């Protein structure tokens, strides 16, 4: 498996971490992802917009006082994330098997 099998949208570490959180939760709030990734609001918005444009996450917004923004992974996103993890594992396995 080559590096070409890696998904360029997910490959960025912040987006990889966000996808891993979302693949293992039914939904995650904006604040939770921001705190977990240790990024600013604007940076998280940028990263999540990239994932949303790729069709990997969907956004839910509750407006009004105490309103929240939360994210869910889509089926396409879950499949892409699994493929990306499989590609990473294959690269690691190939590297390990080439060691003397």
**In what helix (H) or strand (E) does residue 59 lie, and over which residues does it extend?**
strand 57-61
Ranges within 74-93 binding another protein (CB under 8 A):
85, 88-89, 91-92
Nearest in space to 59 (alpha carbons), one of 67, 70, 73, 47: 70
Ranges within 16-45 binding another protein (CB under 8 A):
16-21, 23-29, 31-33, 35-36
d(CA 61, CA 56): 17
Strand partners, 16: none
Q: How far is the CB of 54 from another protein (least distance, A)?
A: 14
Q: Which residues bind another protein (CB under 8 A)?
A: 3, 6, 8, 11-13, 16-21, 23-29, 31-33, 35-36, 66, 68, 85, 88-89, 91-92, 95
């Amino acid at each position: 498996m080559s590096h070409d099998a890696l998904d360029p949208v997910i490959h960025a570490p912040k987006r990889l971490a966000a996808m891993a959180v979302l693949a293992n939760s039914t939904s995650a709030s904006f604040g939770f992802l921001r705190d977990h990734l240790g990024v600013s609001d604007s940076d998280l918005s940028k990263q999540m917009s990239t994932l949303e444009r790729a069709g990997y996450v969907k956004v839910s917004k509750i407006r009004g006082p105490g309103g929240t923004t939360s994210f869910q992974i889509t089926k396409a996103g879950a499949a892409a994330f699994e493929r990306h993890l499989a590609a990473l594992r294959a690269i690691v396995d190939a590297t390990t098997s080439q060691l003397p």
